[in-house]
Amino acid sequence: MKITAAAITEMGKIRFMELDTPPLSGKEVLVKMHAAALCTLEQRIFRGDVKMPFPCIGGHEFAGEAIQLGPDVDSSVWKVGQRVAVRLLYSCGECHQCRSGHSNMCENARHKPVRKGLLPGPGGLCDCIIADSSSLFPIPDSLSYECASLTEPLACVVHSVNLARIALAEDVIVIGGGIMGQMHCMLSKLRGARVLVSEPDSARRELAMKNGADGVLNPFACDILSEVRNFTSGRGADVVFNTVPKPDAFREAVSLAAKAGRVIQYTSVHPDEPVAVSPQFIHNRQVSVIGSISPEVQDFYTANRLLASSLVDVSDLIHKTFPFRDSQLAFEEAVKAGSFRVIVTD
């Protein structure tokens, strides 16, 4: 079976490679790529910030069409021509974390088995991919492939919002109005919260208001702590989501929390640097600080349902699309500061 991959062959370089892999077996499904979004992970591999063996295949935000079924696939569930979002991040199912209910922190997540003839990496930047039927999630005709490819990042935010345990009418502060900040705003509103978004870019502040924010602020043009206290009647935020990958943003997030508040450190930080946070502040105010990384299977399923039912609209979070053969240009655009999702299409 021949597959064409847009492989990262060295820092900043994409090369098309023809790969030869065995026919489908078991419950494998061949899925034609219609949309693959370039996540921060792929961008960091392309820039050389995250080390992977070259060549490798990026792309774990993926949607496409089932075009061939393996011999053991249940044909009453899956059909040729079916439109699907695909969960491509790996969890082994056998380690302590997987078996204790935390498969998003699988101890072997970075050691995804490589199918014979293919290359390491998430694997979505190909004209076709091979996935187990358990990794497929159906999407309706009303949902574009481009929007469906954002199921995985939305699933990450579902996981984060679930960790925050938002209650009706609580006050939520979202630090950062990028794609993840916008999604946190959307889902916090669905949970019945009042939401304030902190973002220096005026266009992103305007988009946050469109996505349901009750207020926005420019952290470089005001005293953010005073603004948050005004928004929350002096209490501080019940929940603070930090989506900005800078160490000082974490320190700021903790300072904005109310008594019994929850601070969700959503984003990874590169480079990672320690910051000064008062343990006495956390102790006196009973503040919970929680990290959030990657989604569970049920988070992906929830995100799939949110998009399929039009409860969440992510179309404004798509920056540009590029045809598969222009994957080099797509990566170069994706790594530019300030861009939302760049998507490679068939």
% of the chain surpassing 90 pLDDT: 94
Q: Are residues 81 and 172 in the same domain?
A: no
Q: Are residues 216 and 76 in the same domain?
A: no
Mean pLDDT in residue range 255-264: 98
Q: Are residues 204 and 260 in the same domain?
A: yes
User: pLDDT by residue (tens digit) across 263-318?
Assistant: 999 999 878 899 999 999 999 999 999 999 999 999 999 999 999 999 999 999 99
- Supply the pLDDT for residue 252: 97
Q: Are residues 10 and 145 in the same domain?
A: yes
Mean pLDDT in residue range 83-108: 96
Task: Look at residue 301 and give its three-state secondary structure.
Answer: helix
User: pLDDT by residue (tens digit) across 205-214?
Assistant: 999 999 999 9
269 is in which domain, residue-wise? 155-291
**pTM beyond 0.75:** yes
DSSP state of 111: -
String of DSSP letters for 235-297? S-EEEEEE---SHHHHHHHHHTEEEEEEEEE-S--SS-------HHHHHHHT-EEEE--S--H
DSSP state of 228: H
Residue 176: which of 221, 218, 147 has the closest Cα? 218
User: pLDDT by residue (tens digit) across 9-66?
Assistant: 999 999 999 999 999 999 999 999 999 999 988 998 999 888 888 999 999 999 999 9
Whichever domain contains 279, its CATH number is 3.40.50.720
Q: Are residues 133 and 104 in the same domain?
A: yes
Task: Please report, for residues 45, 179, 228, 279, the alpha-carbon distance to residue 247 in angstroms, rounded to integers and kept in the order given.
Answer: 21, 19, 20, 17
% of the chain surpassing 70 pLDDT: 100
Does 307 reside within a domain? Answer: no
Distance CA 69, CA 28 (A): 7
Whichever domain contains 326, its CATH number is 3.90.180.10
